[in-house]
Structure 1
Amino acid sequence: MNKPLSTKALATEPTVPLSTSTLDALLAEIAEGESERERERTLPHRQIALIKQARLGALRLPVAAGGAGSSIRELFQIIIRLAEADANVAHILRNHFSVVERLVRNPRDNQAGEWQTAVAGGAIIGLATTELDSPQVGNITPNTTFTPDGDDYLLNGTKYYSTGTLYSDLVLVRAADPSGRPGASIIPVNRDGIELIDDWDGMGQRLTATGTTHFRNVRVKRQEIVFDAPDIGYGVPYSNTFAQLFLTAAVAGISRAALRDAIALVRSRKRTFYYAPHERPTEDPLLQETIGKIASAAHAAETVVLVAAEALDAATEAFDAGRGDAEELAHRAALLSAQAKIVADDAAIRNGGHIFDVGGASSTKKATNFDRHWRNARTLSSHNPVSYKERAIGQYLINGTPLPAKGFF
């Protein structure tokens, strides 16, 4: 397991928004060896270390707090490019940015201020919320418990699908006190009683360490717990839209990666089909048409993600200012995010298949690992089925029924 950053020696100077050249160099280094890592299941600890060093996780923090003050749209532009470089690395950061957005970007007390300082210095936050025995639809009360013990609490329970936590310095875990009141705590991953297990065996996103996390009598201070309230965290309507759109941005990045590899594949081909309309693959109009199709779908996916991100920026600004139209704007952002998912998922899954249309049978060899694009896109798409989004959108447009205010909308 990687050694967490020390929160006592973190940098405090502002994170200047990355220059184009600096960002390009970082993404190029992350992209190097990506296919081989995925094929050999080599965990990207080094690549995450580079991200911590660049303090990319502080993009959404205010400049005064040591962050870059980036908008959501600016963040998602970078995430799309990061997913193009390595979809696993982008996915690993999803929970970090979601936690920052809820509890760290605008701290409400000294404890949250300490979390903000850690993020400004490069720390990454993981997540441990999902339980396999959640009893019913819509129930968000966790079985993991905060049990009073003197002035502190003891945390006990098991979480699954803890994406990114293996690479993180801190982890947000959701639990409930004896009265059933749910809350969240952000604690160091190396605290006694925490066990991280890399047991994710999905067909795609193989390096995200989306595994199991055990908490056994983990001591948690009262000030480290944020119990749910109507105006913070999970109590905010459409509070998961950011997390949903983040996944969709990663999917859009996969479309760009498929385009990149498809172009390189056509350029590298030395021979073509017996009945091809041109002896040189680069001059084959059918291959050119397929590349154009992949490029157009990738462009459409990126565009709808960024439009939804702009709507989410508007809603976030309204919530921060306490404006009365905040929930209405949040609903619009959720609607555009759901529509973006439908477009981007379809584009990436199709593009992951179209790459073989320009390569022939030899492109299916394990050494090429081109199938990772389809596997990764299909895995990410499965997180929240498109069919539920399509039905909710149709129900809203026909009958005016609002989208679900909780869950990933």
Structure 2
Amino acid sequence: MTVHEYRGTFPDTGDLKARFRPLFDRIAEGAIRRERERTLPFEEIEWLKQAGFTALRVPVEYGGLGVSLTQLFDLLIDLAEADTNIAQALRGHFALVEDRLVAPRAEGEVWLKRFGAGEIAGNGWTEIGSVKIGDTITKVFPEGEGFRVEGEKYYSTGSIFADWIDTYATRADTGASVIAIVRTAQPGVERRDDWSGFGQKLTGTGTTIYTAATVEPEGLVPFETRFRYQTAFYQLVVNSVLAGAALAAVRDVSELVAKRTRGFSHGAGTLPRHDPQVLQVVGRARAFAFAARAATLEAARVAQRAYETSQAGDKAADDQANIDAELASAAAQISGAELALRATTDVFNALSASATDEKLAFDRHWRNVRTAASHNPLIYKERILGDHAVNGTEPIYVWQIGAIAS
């Protein structure tokens, strides 16, 4: 399949939005209740699976919708506007789908069929505690015709909802870095909802423990074959969360202002919905949310080019496309985080103390943005962008976190 042929297969974006809008509205209806009660969205994710949303990037011949990356992230922003937790919970899933889509078809086909049938994946990459940078405590051991996994991961976003876990590990026999795609429905996998962050509380993020967990032969993938624009892709999911949260804050503040009947003596002397200063606050936040979305979609367009070059066999073009994708996602992250943080903070200026009532859960938008914006620290992405602009330094594609020797 050539790039030219692939470009002609995308469904209509308007049709996609019309298809999923009723579902997103249904998800949004329960967002505040789930937030207040800390109810994990198992049911809502099942709705998305049944509707084909989790198979957006899966080719049509395997049961998916075959959308472009721009369309994927456009729809993911819409989902994040309904509930940012659910959009982020699917981060690891869409990344593994992308990896198996980029892989040679003989290797990826079994997974594309599973994903097309509605199965989803979670994430198991990060380890906490004393693990050193560059080290991985989680190990994979050859066993019979397959493998077994021993170890523990944290920040296992989405894994509690998943059929599979995309697990970063080291082979015990060779020391090679690998991805072990581990089935969750087995005694050797324990998943805990012990995420203690003040935002994004319902992403299913927490601890995953592997105790003699089995891995089928097709579930072990050399890490060096991972799709090259993965860091940009992961960040685009976070960017979608940021934009969605900002849009949700604008939606909610607009509804609250429209209903208000109490004003201030030192205000405009009219209903809040007619107060020019209040309207200015809402309008500015709306502009910030719009720009955050636009930045994400532009970065997604650049990432789409990296997908296309991954299939075309031109290494020089692929190298450049991956540089462009990384830089674009970094720029979208920095600008999107700033815009979303301002939008979700400033909207409180259009209201009064009543907006802090816990029943409204209006603060969740800022908490979710602040939490999501803490992924992949902004200061390092700013330096990377500046270093490339000034010195032409190629960006870092894969990075790790861990203990540093004193």
TM-score for the superposition, normalised by structure 2: 0.91
Residues in 2 aligned to 1:397 and 1:21: alpha-carbon distance in whole angstroms: 41
Tell me by how many angstroms 1:357 deviates: 0.6
Could you tell which deviates more after superposition, 171-180 or 373-382?
A: 171-180
Give the secondary structure class of the aligned counterpart of 1:174: strand
Deviation at 1:146, TM superposition (A): 1.2
Please name the residue that 1:9 is paired with.
none
Report deviation, 1:135. Answer: 4.3
Aligned position for 1:183: 178
C-alpha displacement of 1:165: 0.6
Question: Which amino acid letter does the alignment assign opposite residue 228 of structure 1?
Answer: F
CA distance in 1, matches of 2:86, 2:121: 14
Could you tell me which amino acid in structure 1 is paired with residue 240 of structure 2? A
The equivalent of 1:349 in structure 2 is: 341
217-226 vs 287-296, greater mean Cα deviation? 217-226
Corresponding residue of 1:146: 140
Report Cα offsets for 1:8-56 as digits up to 9, x if no partner.
Answer: xxxxxx9977644321111111111201211210111110010010121
Tell me the alpha carbon deviations over residues 191-219 of structure 1, each in whole angstroms, 9 at most, x when there is no partner. 22111111111100000110100110112
| Count of residue pairs the alignment pairs up | 388
Secondary structure of 1:186's match? strand
Helix, strand or coil: the match of 1:325? helix
Verify the 8 A CA contact 1:15 1:67 in the aligned structure 2.
no
Select the residue among 141, 157, 169 that pairs with 1:163. 157
Check whether the contact 1:238–1:406 (CA below 8 A) recurs between aligned residues.
Answer: no
Q: Aligned pair 1:226/2:189, yes or no?
A: no
How far apart, in 2, do the equivalents of 1:60 and 1:222 lie? 24
Distance 2:275 2:292 in 1: 26
**Alpha-carbon distance between aligned partners in 1 of 2:16 and 2:396, rounded to the nearest angstrom:** 39
Residue in structure 1 matched with residue 123 of structure 2 by the alignment: 127
Is the 2:102–2:311 contact (alpha carbons within 8 Å) kept by the matching residues of 1? no
Using the alignment, how far apart are the partners of 2:102 and 2:50 within structure 1?
Answer: 19
**Quick check: 1:203 aligned with 2:195?**
no
Return the letter of the residue paired with 1:41. Answer: R
CA deviation map 1:201-249 (0-9, x unaligned)? 11000001101001101122333211223xx21xx54431101111111
The SS at the match of 2:201 is coil
Amino acid in structure 2 at the alignment position of 1:87: T
Residue of 23, 26, 35 corresponding to 2:23: 26
Find the aligned partners of 2:319 and 2:167 in 1 and give their Cα distance: 26
1:315 maps onto 2:315 in alignment: no
Q: How far, CA to CA, are the matches of 1:402 and 1:61 in structure 2?
A: 31
Contact 2:123–2:156 (Cα < 8 Å) also in 1: yes
Match in the other structure for 1:11: none
Query: How far apart in 1 are the matches of 2:384 and 2:30?
Result: 40
1:267 maps to which of 258, 266, 275: 258
Partner of 2:404 in structure 1?
A: none
1:275-333, CA deviations, whole angstroms, 9 ceiling, x for partnerless residues?
11132111101001101100110111111111111111011101111223111111111
Aligned-partner residue type, residue 117 of structure 1: K
Identical-residue share of aligned pairs (%): 37
Shift of the 309–405 alpha-carbon distance from structure 1 to 2, 3 Å rule, reads same
CA distance in 2: counterparts of 1:217 and 1:145, whole angstroms: 10
- Call closer, same or farther: CA 1:51–1:326 in 2, change over 3 Å: same
Q: Find out whether 1:65 has 2:59 as its counterpart.
A: no
In structure 2, give the amino acid aligned to 1:403: P
Q: Gaps spanning 5+ residues in structure 2: where?
A: 1-8, 401-406
Query: Counterpart in 1 of 2:291?
Result: 300
8 Å Cα contact 1:237-1:406 kept in structure 2: no
CA distance in 2, matches of 1:387, 1:142: 25
Q: Which stretch of structure 1 is more off in the superposition, 185-194 or 27-36?
A: 185-194
**Native 8 Å contact 1:15 1:63 kept in 2:** no
- Report SS of the residue matched to 2:230: coil
Matched residue, 1:10: none
Whether 1:89 and 2:81 are equivalent positions in the alignment is: no
SS in 1 for 2:148: strand
> Is 1:279 aligned to residue 270 of structure 2?
yes
Aligned residue number for residue 4 of structure 2 = none
1:250 aligns with 2:250: no
| Unmatched tracts of structure 1, length 5 or more | 1-13
Q: How does 1:396-407 map to 2 (within 5 A)?
A: 396-407=388-399
Distance in 1 of aligned mates of 2:301 and 2:321? 11
What displacement does 1:382 show?
0.5
Structure 1 position 106, deviation (Å): 4.5
Q: Secondary structure at the match of 2:167?
A: strand
Q: Distance in 1 between matches of 2:236 and 2:399?
A: 13
Aligned to 1:389: 381
Residue equivalent to 2:42: 45
Structure 1 220/19 Cα, relative in aligned 2: closer, same or farther at 3 Å? Answer: closer
Taking the aligned partners of 1:104 and 1:131, their CA distance within structure 2 comes to 27
Determine the C-alpha separation between the residues in 2 that align with 1:46 and 1:180: 40
Cα distance in 2 for partners of 1:16, 1:182 equals 37
1:363 and 2:378 are equivalent in the alignment: no
- Give the whole-Å Cα distance in 2 for the aligned partners of 1:142 and 1:389: 24
Distance 1:205 1:38 in 2: 9
